[in-house]
Copies of this chain bind each other. A is one copy, B any other.
Amino acid sequence: MTKPWEENIRKVVPYVPGEQPKGERLIKLNTNENPYPPAPNVAAALEQMEIEKLRRYPDPTASDLVCALAQYYGLEKDQVFVGVGSDDVLGMAFLTYFHSRKPILFPDITYSFYPVWANLFGIPYKTRKLDDNFYIRPEDYFEDNGGVIFPNPNAPTGLYLPLEQVEEILKHNQSSVVIVDEAYIDFGGVSARTLLDRYENLLVVQTFSKSRSMAGVRIGYAFGSPELLKAMENVKYSYNSYTMNLPSIVLGVEALKNRDYFTRTIDKIVKTRERAKDRFRTLGFHCLDSSANFLFMTHEKKDAKQILEALRSNQIYVRHFDGPRLSDYLRVTIGTDEEMETVYEFLASYLRLNNEFGSW
Protein backbone atom coordinates (compact mmCIF):
# COMPACT_ATOMS: atom_id res chain seq x y z
CA MET A 1 0.00 0.00 0.00
CA THR A 2 1.32 3.43 -0.85
CA LYS A 3 1.90 5.62 2.20
CA PRO A 4 0.73 9.25 1.92
CA TRP A 5 4.30 10.61 1.86
CA GLU A 6 5.27 8.20 -0.92
CA GLU A 7 3.01 9.98 -3.36
CA ASN A 8 5.21 13.05 -3.32
CA ILE A 9 8.58 11.44 -3.97
CA ARG A 10 10.52 10.55 -7.09
CA LYS A 11 10.57 6.94 -8.23
CA VAL A 12 13.21 5.71 -10.65
CA VAL A 13 14.65 2.46 -11.94
CA PRO A 14 18.36 2.69 -11.17
CA TYR A 15 21.41 1.67 -13.18
CA VAL A 16 22.75 -1.71 -12.10
CA PRO A 17 26.53 -1.59 -11.79
CA GLY A 18 28.67 -4.65 -12.50
CA GLU A 19 29.05 -6.98 -9.55
CA GLN A 20 31.89 -6.24 -7.10
CA PRO A 21 32.60 -9.73 -5.76
CA LYS A 22 35.07 -9.95 -2.89
CA GLY A 23 37.82 -12.51 -2.56
CA GLU A 24 41.51 -12.90 -3.19
CA ARG A 25 41.60 -15.73 -5.69
CA LEU A 26 39.02 -14.54 -8.17
CA ILE A 27 39.74 -13.16 -11.63
CA LYS A 28 37.67 -10.04 -12.03
CA LEU A 29 37.14 -9.15 -15.69
CA ASN A 30 33.63 -7.71 -15.38
CA THR A 31 33.97 -3.96 -14.80
CA ASN A 32 36.84 -2.91 -17.08
CA GLU A 33 39.27 -2.12 -14.32
CA ASN A 34 42.97 -1.89 -15.07
CA PRO A 35 44.86 -5.04 -14.02
CA TYR A 36 47.91 -2.98 -13.04
CA PRO A 37 48.23 -0.87 -9.89
CA PRO A 38 48.36 2.95 -9.98
CA ALA A 39 51.78 4.49 -10.72
CA PRO A 40 54.36 3.92 -7.95
CA ASN A 41 54.61 7.65 -7.20
CA VAL A 42 50.88 7.61 -6.36
CA ALA A 43 51.62 5.16 -3.57
CA ALA A 44 54.32 7.50 -2.27
CA ALA A 45 51.91 10.46 -2.31
CA LEU A 46 49.36 8.46 -0.37
CA GLU A 47 51.91 7.68 2.31
CA GLN A 48 52.94 11.30 2.56
CA MET A 49 49.45 12.78 2.75
CA GLU A 50 49.14 15.04 5.77
CA ILE A 51 46.32 13.89 8.00
CA GLU A 52 46.04 17.34 9.55
CA LYS A 53 44.82 18.74 6.24
CA LEU A 54 41.82 16.42 6.20
CA ARG A 55 40.07 18.51 8.85
CA ARG A 56 39.60 21.33 6.35
CA TYR A 57 37.32 21.50 3.34
CA PRO A 58 39.14 20.66 0.14
CA ASP A 59 39.58 23.37 -2.47
CA PRO A 60 36.10 23.52 -4.06
CA THR A 61 37.63 24.30 -7.46
CA ALA A 62 40.08 21.36 -7.15
CA SER A 63 42.43 23.83 -8.73
CA ASP A 64 45.59 21.71 -8.41
CA LEU A 65 43.98 18.85 -10.29
CA VAL A 66 42.35 21.10 -12.88
CA CYS A 67 45.69 22.83 -13.55
CA ALA A 68 47.55 19.53 -13.76
CA LEU A 69 45.05 18.22 -16.31
CA ALA A 70 45.16 21.46 -18.32
CA GLN A 71 48.93 21.33 -18.43
CA TYR A 72 49.04 17.63 -19.27
CA TYR A 73 46.66 18.03 -22.19
CA GLY A 74 47.87 21.44 -23.39
CA LEU A 75 44.65 23.28 -22.56
CA GLU A 76 43.65 26.27 -20.49
CA LYS A 77 42.40 25.89 -16.95
CA ASP A 78 38.92 27.08 -17.88
CA GLN A 79 38.64 24.28 -20.45
CA VAL A 80 38.76 21.58 -17.75
CA PHE A 81 36.07 20.33 -15.35
CA VAL A 82 36.52 17.56 -12.74
CA GLY A 83 34.11 15.29 -10.88
CA VAL A 84 33.69 12.13 -8.79
CA GLY A 85 34.33 9.69 -11.62
CA SER A 86 33.08 10.20 -15.16
CA ASP A 87 29.60 9.14 -14.00
CA ASP A 88 29.43 12.25 -11.84
CA VAL A 89 30.63 14.39 -14.75
CA LEU A 90 28.19 12.77 -17.18
CA GLY A 91 25.30 13.00 -14.72
CA MET A 92 25.94 16.71 -14.28
CA ALA A 93 26.33 17.13 -18.02
CA PHE A 94 22.89 15.55 -18.58
CA LEU A 95 21.40 17.82 -15.94
CA THR A 96 23.08 20.91 -17.39
CA TYR A 97 23.13 20.50 -21.13
CA PHE A 98 20.08 18.40 -21.94
CA HIS A 99 17.42 20.87 -20.91
CA SER A 100 15.43 21.06 -24.14
CA ARG A 101 12.00 19.63 -24.93
CA LYS A 102 13.48 18.07 -28.03
CA PRO A 103 14.74 14.52 -27.52
CA ILE A 104 18.42 13.83 -27.07
CA LEU A 105 19.96 11.14 -29.29
CA PHE A 106 22.23 8.23 -28.40
CA PRO A 107 22.92 4.74 -29.80
CA ASP A 108 20.56 1.87 -28.96
CA ILE A 109 23.52 -0.21 -27.83
CA THR A 110 25.72 1.92 -25.62
CA TYR A 111 26.57 2.75 -22.01
CA SER A 112 23.43 1.68 -20.20
CA PHE A 113 23.54 4.66 -17.86
CA TYR A 114 22.35 7.10 -20.55
CA PRO A 115 18.65 6.18 -20.43
CA VAL A 116 18.88 6.06 -16.62
CA TRP A 117 20.08 9.68 -16.40
CA ALA A 118 17.49 10.73 -18.96
CA ASN A 119 14.74 9.12 -16.88
CA LEU A 120 16.08 10.56 -13.63
CA PHE A 121 16.02 14.11 -14.94
CA GLY A 122 12.95 13.73 -17.15
CA ILE A 123 14.89 14.27 -20.39
CA PRO A 124 13.16 13.02 -23.56
CA TYR A 125 15.37 10.75 -25.67
CA LYS A 126 15.48 8.66 -28.86
CA THR A 127 17.91 5.86 -29.55
CA ARG A 128 19.61 5.31 -32.90
CA LYS A 129 20.25 1.77 -34.06
CA LEU A 130 23.87 0.71 -34.56
CA ASP A 131 24.47 -0.79 -38.01
CA ASP A 132 24.62 -4.55 -38.57
CA ASN A 133 28.27 -4.61 -37.56
CA PHE A 134 27.58 -2.63 -34.38
CA TYR A 135 29.01 0.63 -35.78
CA ILE A 136 27.59 4.09 -35.09
CA ARG A 137 26.25 5.74 -38.29
CA PRO A 138 27.00 9.47 -38.07
CA GLU A 139 24.07 10.38 -40.34
CA ASP A 140 21.67 9.03 -37.72
CA TYR A 141 22.55 12.03 -35.56
CA PHE A 142 21.92 14.77 -38.11
CA GLU A 143 18.26 15.42 -37.26
CA ASP A 144 17.11 18.23 -34.97
CA ASN A 145 17.67 17.25 -31.33
CA GLY A 146 18.09 18.39 -27.72
CA GLY A 147 21.61 17.02 -27.52
CA VAL A 148 23.78 14.10 -28.62
CA ILE A 149 25.88 11.69 -26.59
CA PHE A 150 27.89 8.62 -27.53
CA PRO A 151 30.95 6.85 -26.16
CA ASN A 152 34.04 6.61 -28.31
CA PRO A 153 35.12 3.84 -28.32
CA ASN A 154 31.56 2.69 -27.78
CA ALA A 155 30.64 0.42 -24.87
CA PRO A 156 30.14 -2.49 -24.67
CA THR A 157 31.24 -3.00 -28.27
CA GLY A 158 34.70 -1.44 -27.99
CA LEU A 159 34.34 -0.08 -31.53
CA TYR A 160 36.03 3.23 -32.35
CA LEU A 161 34.50 5.93 -34.52
CA PRO A 162 37.22 7.74 -36.50
CA LEU A 163 37.65 11.41 -35.70
CA GLU A 164 36.37 12.56 -39.12
CA GLN A 165 33.07 10.87 -38.39
CA VAL A 166 32.90 12.42 -34.93
CA GLU A 167 33.42 15.74 -36.62
CA GLU A 168 30.63 14.98 -39.12
CA ILE A 169 28.27 14.67 -36.14
CA LEU A 170 29.52 17.95 -34.72
CA LYS A 171 29.18 19.76 -38.05
CA HIS A 172 25.51 18.82 -38.18
CA ASN A 173 24.88 19.80 -34.56
CA GLN A 174 25.63 23.42 -33.84
CA SER A 175 22.46 24.11 -31.83
CA SER A 176 22.80 21.47 -29.18
CA VAL A 177 25.55 20.10 -26.99
CA VAL A 178 27.45 17.06 -28.27
CA ILE A 179 29.09 14.87 -25.62
CA VAL A 180 31.80 12.41 -26.59
CA ASP A 181 32.28 9.98 -23.71
CA GLU A 182 35.90 8.85 -23.99
CA ALA A 183 36.28 6.53 -21.00
CA TYR A 184 38.29 4.12 -23.17
CA ILE A 185 40.00 6.44 -25.63
CA ASP A 186 43.50 5.89 -24.23
CA PHE A 187 43.42 2.24 -25.35
CA GLY A 188 43.22 3.15 -29.05
CA GLY A 189 41.85 6.18 -30.84
CA VAL A 190 42.26 9.91 -31.23
CA SER A 191 40.50 12.10 -28.70
CA ALA A 192 37.92 14.63 -29.87
CA ARG A 193 39.87 17.03 -27.65
CA THR A 194 41.61 18.12 -30.84
CA LEU A 195 38.27 19.48 -32.11
CA LEU A 196 37.71 21.79 -29.13
CA ASP A 197 39.02 24.83 -30.97
CA ARG A 198 36.37 24.54 -33.62
CA TYR A 199 33.26 23.47 -31.66
CA GLU A 200 32.39 25.32 -28.50
CA ASN A 201 29.36 23.05 -27.97
CA LEU A 202 31.58 19.96 -27.69
CA LEU A 203 32.11 18.23 -24.34
CA VAL A 204 34.73 15.49 -24.11
CA VAL A 205 34.57 13.29 -20.98
CA GLN A 206 37.39 11.07 -19.73
CA THR A 207 38.28 9.18 -16.55
CA PHE A 208 41.08 7.97 -14.29
CA SER A 209 39.21 4.70 -13.71
CA LYS A 210 40.47 2.74 -16.70
CA SER A 211 43.78 3.82 -18.24
CA ARG A 212 45.11 5.31 -14.99
CA SER A 213 44.22 2.37 -12.71
CA MET A 214 42.35 4.55 -10.23
CA ALA A 215 38.71 3.47 -10.25
CA GLY A 216 38.82 3.41 -6.44
CA VAL A 217 39.69 7.10 -6.26
CA ARG A 218 36.76 8.31 -8.41
CA ILE A 219 38.14 10.94 -10.77
CA GLY A 220 36.45 11.93 -13.98
CA TYR A 221 36.99 15.05 -16.04
CA ALA A 222 35.69 16.91 -19.04
CA PHE A 223 37.12 19.24 -21.65
CA GLY A 224 35.05 21.94 -23.28
CA SER A 225 34.91 25.61 -24.14
CA PRO A 226 35.00 27.99 -21.15
CA GLU A 227 31.43 29.09 -21.93
CA LEU A 228 30.18 25.53 -22.04
CA LEU A 229 31.94 24.52 -18.82
CA LYS A 230 30.79 27.61 -16.94
CA ALA A 231 27.18 26.38 -17.15
CA MET A 232 28.14 22.97 -15.73
CA GLU A 233 30.22 24.56 -12.99
CA ASN A 234 27.21 26.57 -11.90
CA VAL A 235 25.19 23.37 -11.70
CA LYS A 236 28.00 21.68 -9.78
CA TYR A 237 28.15 24.53 -7.25
CA SER A 238 24.36 24.34 -6.99
CA TYR A 239 24.53 20.67 -6.13
CA ASN A 240 27.66 20.05 -4.05
CA SER A 241 30.41 22.65 -3.72
CA TYR A 242 33.02 20.18 -2.54
CA THR A 243 32.78 17.09 -4.69
CA MET A 244 36.45 16.10 -4.87
CA ASN A 245 37.94 15.02 -1.56
CA LEU A 246 41.54 15.81 -0.67
CA PRO A 247 42.88 12.29 -1.38
CA SER A 248 41.42 12.35 -4.89
CA ILE A 249 42.93 15.76 -5.65
CA VAL A 250 46.37 14.80 -4.34
CA LEU A 251 46.46 11.34 -5.95
CA GLY A 252 45.06 12.61 -9.24
CA VAL A 253 47.76 15.27 -9.54
CA GLU A 254 50.39 12.69 -8.69
CA ALA A 255 49.18 10.19 -11.30
CA LEU A 256 49.55 12.78 -14.05
CA LYS A 257 53.23 13.24 -13.24
CA ASN A 258 54.07 9.78 -14.51
CA ARG A 259 53.53 9.75 -18.28
CA ASP A 260 55.94 6.90 -18.73
CA TYR A 261 54.12 4.47 -16.44
CA PHE A 262 50.82 5.43 -18.09
CA THR A 263 52.16 4.69 -21.58
CA ARG A 264 53.81 1.42 -20.58
CA THR A 265 50.68 0.16 -18.82
CA ILE A 266 48.49 0.92 -21.81
CA ASP A 267 50.95 -0.73 -24.18
CA LYS A 268 50.88 -3.88 -22.12
CA ILE A 269 47.08 -3.97 -22.05
CA VAL A 270 46.82 -3.37 -25.80
CA LYS A 271 49.31 -6.16 -26.50
CA THR A 272 47.43 -8.54 -24.22
CA ARG A 273 44.16 -7.55 -25.91
CA GLU A 274 45.48 -8.32 -29.38
CA ARG A 275 46.86 -11.66 -28.25
CA ALA A 276 43.58 -12.40 -26.48
CA LYS A 277 41.66 -11.79 -29.70
CA ASP A 278 43.73 -14.44 -31.46
CA ARG A 279 43.46 -16.89 -28.61
CA PHE A 280 39.71 -16.47 -28.23
CA ARG A 281 39.33 -16.92 -32.00
CA THR A 282 41.06 -20.29 -31.85
CA LEU A 283 38.52 -21.23 -29.16
CA GLY A 284 35.59 -20.49 -31.48
CA PHE A 285 34.83 -16.93 -30.41
CA HIS A 286 34.18 -13.96 -32.67
CA CYS A 287 35.54 -10.75 -31.11
CA LEU A 288 34.61 -7.26 -32.30
CA ASP A 289 37.56 -5.10 -33.25
CA SER A 290 38.12 -3.48 -29.85
CA SER A 291 39.88 -0.16 -29.27
CA ALA A 292 39.19 -0.42 -25.52
CA ASN A 293 40.47 -2.47 -22.57
CA PHE A 294 37.86 -5.18 -23.10
CA LEU A 295 36.64 -7.55 -25.78
CA PHE A 296 33.03 -7.95 -26.83
CA MET A 297 32.73 -11.49 -28.09
CA THR A 298 30.31 -14.23 -29.01
CA HIS A 299 30.89 -17.94 -29.37
CA GLU A 300 30.03 -19.67 -32.62
CA LYS A 301 28.16 -22.45 -30.86
CA LYS A 302 27.95 -22.10 -27.13
CA ASP A 303 25.39 -19.89 -25.39
CA ALA A 304 26.92 -16.77 -23.83
CA LYS A 305 25.01 -17.03 -20.57
CA GLN A 306 26.12 -20.62 -20.10
CA ILE A 307 29.74 -19.63 -20.63
CA LEU A 308 29.24 -16.76 -18.15
CA GLU A 309 27.96 -19.16 -15.50
CA ALA A 310 30.69 -21.71 -16.15
CA LEU A 311 33.33 -18.99 -15.80
CA ARG A 312 31.72 -17.66 -12.65
CA SER A 313 31.63 -21.07 -11.01
CA ASN A 314 35.35 -21.13 -11.65
CA GLN A 315 35.82 -17.72 -9.97
CA ILE A 316 36.19 -15.85 -13.26
CA TYR A 317 33.83 -12.87 -13.57
CA VAL A 318 32.94 -11.37 -16.95
CA ARG A 319 29.92 -9.28 -17.92
CA HIS A 320 26.78 -10.23 -19.83
CA PHE A 321 24.03 -7.83 -20.92
CA ASP A 322 20.48 -8.83 -21.66
CA GLY A 323 18.81 -7.21 -24.63
CA PRO A 324 18.40 -7.55 -28.40
CA ARG A 325 21.67 -8.26 -30.22
CA LEU A 326 23.54 -8.19 -26.87
CA SER A 327 22.52 -11.41 -25.20
CA ASP A 328 24.75 -13.60 -27.38
CA TYR A 329 27.82 -11.65 -26.30
CA LEU A 330 30.15 -11.45 -23.33
CA ARG A 331 32.21 -8.43 -22.39
CA VAL A 332 35.59 -9.53 -21.11
CA THR A 333 37.96 -7.02 -19.52
CA ILE A 334 41.62 -7.43 -20.44
CA GLY A 335 43.50 -8.66 -17.36
CA THR A 336 47.17 -9.49 -16.92
CA ASP A 337 48.67 -12.08 -19.27
CA GLU A 338 48.63 -14.54 -16.41
CA GLU A 339 44.93 -13.98 -15.70
CA MET A 340 44.08 -14.29 -19.38
CA GLU A 341 46.05 -17.53 -19.61
CA THR A 342 43.88 -18.97 -16.85
CA VAL A 343 40.79 -17.88 -18.77
CA TYR A 344 41.96 -19.48 -22.05
CA GLU A 345 42.84 -22.71 -20.28
CA PHE A 346 39.54 -22.92 -18.51
CA LEU A 347 37.58 -22.12 -21.67
CA ALA A 348 39.58 -24.61 -23.74
CA SER A 349 38.79 -27.42 -21.38
CA TYR A 350 35.20 -26.33 -20.78
CA LEU A 351 34.40 -25.99 -24.47
CA ARG A 352 36.14 -29.25 -25.40
CA LEU A 353 34.22 -31.07 -22.70
CA ASN A 354 30.94 -29.61 -23.87
CA ASN A 355 31.77 -30.52 -27.43
CA GLU A 356 32.62 -34.11 -26.52
CA PHE A 357 29.40 -34.53 -24.62
CA GLY A 358 27.59 -33.20 -27.64
CA SER A 359 26.05 -30.19 -25.95
CA TRP A 360 26.74 -28.27 -29.18
User: Is A14's CB under 8 angstroms from B234's CB?
Assistant: yes
Query: Is the beta-carbon distance between B42 and A235 smaller than 8 angstroms?
Result: no
Nearest-neighbor residue (CB-CB) of A208 within chain B:
B54
- Interface assignment of A20: CB less than 8 Å from any CB of chain B: yes
Residues in chain B near residue A176, CB distance under 8 A: 5, 8
Residue in B closest to A55 when the chains form the complex, CB atoms: B213
A98 vs B247: C-alpha distance in the bound complex, in angstroms? Answer: 33
Identical copies in the complex: 2
- Is A238 located at the chain interface by the 8 A CB criterion? yes
Q: Is the CB of B237 within 8 A of A15?
A: yes
Q: How far is the CB of A206 from chain B (nearest CB, A)?
A: 16
| Structural contact, B8 and A97, CB atoms closer than 8 A | yes
Interface size in chain A (residues, C-beta < 8 A):
91
A231 and B55 contact, CB distance less than 8 A: no
User: Does A272 reach chain B (CB closer than 8 Å)?
Assistant: no
Least CB distance from A55 to B in Å reads 4
Q: Does A246 contact B (CB under 8 A)?
A: yes
**Any B CB within 8 A of the CB of A339:** no
Select which of B53, B58, B245 is within 8 A of A245 by beta carbon.
B245
Query: For residue A298, which residues in chain B have a CB less than 8 angstroms away from its CB?
Result: none
Contact with B along A209-231 (1 / 0, CB 8 A): 10001111110000000011001
Q: Which of B6, B52, B96, B209 contacts A10 (CB 8 A)?
A: B96
A177 and B38 CA atoms in complex are apart in Å by 43
Contact A54 B17 (CB under 8 A): no
The answer for the CA separation of A200 and B2 in the assembled complex, in Å, is 13
A31 at the interface (CB under 8 A from B): yes
Distance of A86 Cα from B68 Cα, bound (Å): 28
Contact A235 B54 (CB under 8 A): no
Q: Most chain-B Cβ atoms within 10 A of its Cβ — which of A18, A217, A239, A247?
A: A239
Q: How far is the CA of A174 from the CA of B237 in the complex (A)?
A: 32
Cα–Cα distance between A84 and B12 once the two chains are bound (Å): 21
B8 and A99 contacting across the interface, CB-CB below 8 Å: yes
Q: Taking the complex as formed, is A33 at the interface, i.e. its CB lies under 8 A from any CB of chain B?
A: yes
Contacts of A215 in B (CB 8 A): 54-58, 242
How far is B173's CA from A3's CA once the two chains are assembled, in angstroms?
A: 13
Nearest B residue to A104 by beta-carbon distance?
A: B8
Scan A23-60; emit 1 where CB is below 8 A from any B CB, else 0: 00000100101111110001100110101111111111
A96 and B47 in contact (CB under 8 A), knowing A17-B60, A37-B54? no
A88 interface residue per 8 A CB criterion: yes
Q: List the B residue with the shortest CB-CB distance to A147.
A: B8
In chain A, residues 169-186, which have Cβ atoms closer than 8 Å to a Cβ of chain B? Answer: 174-177
4 closest A-B pairs by CB: A14-B237, A8-B100, A4-B175, A216-B246
